[in-house]
Structure 1
Amino acid sequence: MSETNCTHNCNTCGESCSSRQTEQTSFLEPLNPASTVKKVIGVVSGKGGVGKSLVTTMMAVRMNAKNYKTAILDADITGPSIPKAFGLGDDGVGMTPTGLMIPATTSMGIEVMSANLILDHETDPVIWRGPVIAGAVKQFWQEALWEDIDYMFVDMPPGTGDVPLTVFQSLPVDGIIIVTSPQELVSMIVTKAVNMAKKMNIPILGLVENMSYLSCPDCGKKISVFGESRIDEVAKENEIPVLAKIPIEPKIAKAVDEGAVEYLEAPWLDEAVKAVESI
């Protein structure tokens, strides 16, 4: 559609009108001049409990292992689980002389900002309304010292509400990974996330299916615990690739519970890593 003929509401048309691009850019929040972030990757899901935070941590670990300076902005303000996975429960954040927050750093050098790092106790609930939560996400982006970050992964809360909208409008998101699970509602839920990303002009890198199957410890046969996966069909319908199928593995849960996710090998994410490197 040409710019001169664009007389409609660009927020609902799905077209890449120049007026739409200008409007989207106008919402972007600038980083502090002391910070540098080259690429921002959102990790999203249409519903909770599918392993979005797990995928966020494992992707950050994989990219860090490839000698990229990696960071995680935990935008799941009311359900922050990133610090626990890295064993950062009591670390907190520091402050620079100029008042910028200094992210906590994992044992292998991944920088993390999360609501759980600024609470007195990691079990304290965050009882905030939507605008306050959205404001906290902006503060984590603007008022933290992000030094020479190659890839920042943003762990977003599930759904298509205030915080995902804030992230898409306020941060220069270069692409998103959609996380799902092999359940009957997957088609509708994934399509909602896909449609939101398209309306916001955010590139979709692909789908990651968590809890995809269980490998029998005796014979190696793949068992579909939650029913036969429809991820390939859903990906084809939405014209996006499947980046990974993560199995149900006791060692994954053990590593997260023990705060040792950095020591977990994740060969299932090879294609996802390639997709992130390609942007």
Structure 2
Amino acid sequence: MAELNAQHVEAVIAGYVDPVLGQDYVSAGCIGELKVEGSRLSLELVLPFACSSQHDLIKQVLTQRLEEAFPGTQVEVAVRQQIEAFPSARKLPGLAGVRNIIAVASGKGGVGKSTTTVNLALALAAEGARVGILDADIYGPSQGMMLGVPEGERPETAEEKYFRPIERHGVQSMSMSYLVDENTPMVWRGPMVSGAVQQLLNQTLWDELDYLLIDMPPGTGDIQLTLAQRVPVTAAVIVTTPQDIALLDARKGIEMFRKVDIPVLGIIENMSVHICSNCGHEEALFGAGGGESIARAYETELLGQLPLALAIREQTDSGKPSVVADPNGTHAERYREIARKTGALLAKKRSSEGNSIPNIAVEVD
């Protein structure tokens, strides 16, 4: 039996690799307060990503490992999460009230990007994060409807120049659809649209968000490039379907973010398989393996695969997306798995690149 001390305790903890984070908690810097007092051991674990649904399981695993390593020891493990700010790759000034901005993009329309964005945001919130959505698709804003915001509801204003985000299902949101009539088309040129998005972003009083998801307009043109260059985006996520033409455009989306030095956390493959609502039979209508092949080619991650399911469409259209309409269902769990993986990858990227400000250690002899 190993001697009960902090060094040996950390050695035991380091023997367990978190399946989502892909690291042990010691090397990931997750050890908070560690106390050894006689035969009593107390440990505080501080996780850098949203995963509140896994806290009890993590606590159970670590408690069991420590009790087996140090028989007769009273073990107390506490788990909490603390999501830190990760600066934008382009070193742009941060956004007040927002720690991390994640752009959710696609090379083309019709791949379910907005549906994925709203469910990903709700999944991050369900995992204990403070989350917001900026609907940057000025020509076809849809987040208001997906979140169940009634037509005609307008955001409150502050100081005559700021908007307060509208909150639904625990997620803050801002969209052009909150400011204009639903049937009014936005007949604007690119520079006007880019300016409108920046105003929506900067003139909204976001309330202490861990993650702000930007539902990007489809494509890789002037609007997308301007947003990527002028908005302090932390990282991006690409949504695609397995269809060859969608995969081709997804590659262009990845290349666009690479050109402006924004890291792509991974690929979400939507409409991966069709699930028959009568018999449950699964069929790859749009092909198979496309998302995985792109992730491999660009050395990024396949964050998850989502089915082409009637329930996802119906629930989103009703203003209660899958994560809140059926929180214990299989679709909600897939979104939550993607949310945990997205947060973990962002935390790992922050950890690997380190802090740009050097640490100063003061030792007293």
- Common topology (TM > 0.5): yes
Residue 335 of structure 2, aligned match among 259, 265, 269: 269
How far has the Cα of 1:263 moved from its partner?
A: 2.2
2:202 maps to a residue whose letter is Q
Calculate the aligned-residue CA RMSD, in Å: 2.1
User: Residue by residue, what CA displacement relative to the aligned partner does 1:215-247 show, whole Å, maximum 9, x if unpaired?
Assistant: 244654321122334222222112111111110
Residue 238 of structure 1, aligned match among 267, 279, 298: 298
The equivalent of 2:318 in structure 1 is 258
Secondary structure of 2:285's partner?
A: coil
User: Residue by residue, what CA displacement relative to the aligned partner does 1:61-84 show, whole Å, maximum 9, x if unpaired?
Assistant: 011112211100111111101001
Q: Distance in 1 between matches of 2:117 and 2:156?
A: 23
Secondary structure of 1:251's partner?
A: helix
Change (3 A) 1:264 1:127: farther
Residue 256 of structure 2, aligned match among 177, 193, 196: 196
1:115-264 → structure 2 map (5 Å cutoff): 115-119=176-180, 121-217=181-277, 220-261=280-321, 262-264=324-326
CA contact (8 A) 1:52 1:155 kept: yes
1:55 maps to a residue whose letter is T
User: Residue by residue, what CA displacement relative to the aligned partner does 1:98-155 show, whole Å, maximum 9, x if unpaired?
Assistant: 521111111x221111010000x21211111111100011101111111111110000
Higher relative contact order (CA 8 A, sep 6+): 1
Change (3 A) 1:217 1:98: closer
Q: Which runs of 4+ in 1 moved over 6 A?
A: none
Of 121-130 and 223-232, more deviation after overlay is shown by 223-232
Q: Does 1:40 align with 2:101?
A: yes
Max Rg structure: 2
1:68 maps to a residue whose letter is A
1:40 maps to a residue whose letter is I
CA contact (8 A) 1:51 1:179 kept: yes
How far has the Cα of 1:198 moved from its partner?
A: 1.0
2:120 maps to a residue whose letter is M
User: Residue by residue, what CA displacement relative to the aligned partner does 1:12-37 show, whole Å, maximum 9, x if unpaired?
Assistant: xxxxxxxxxx9944xx4664xxx310
Change (3 A) 1:128 1:59: same
CA contact (8 A) 1:252 1:264 kept: no
Q: Distance in 2 between matches of 1:215 and 1:228?
A: 14
Residue 114 of structure 1, aligned match among 175, 184, 209: 175
The equivalent of 1:87 in structure 2 is 148
1:272 maps to a residue whose letter is I
1:86 maps to a residue whose letter is L
Secondary structure of 2:244's partner?
A: coil
How far has the Cα of 1:264 moved from its partner?
A: 4.3
1:4-19 → structure 2 map (5 Å cutoff): none
The equivalent of 1:71 in structure 2 is 132
CA contact (8 A) 2:89 2:233 kept: no
Q: TM-score by structure 1 length?
A: 0.84
Equivalenced residue count is 252
Q: TM-score by structure 2 length?
A: 0.65
Q: Distance in 1 between matches of 2:242 and 2:133?
A: 26
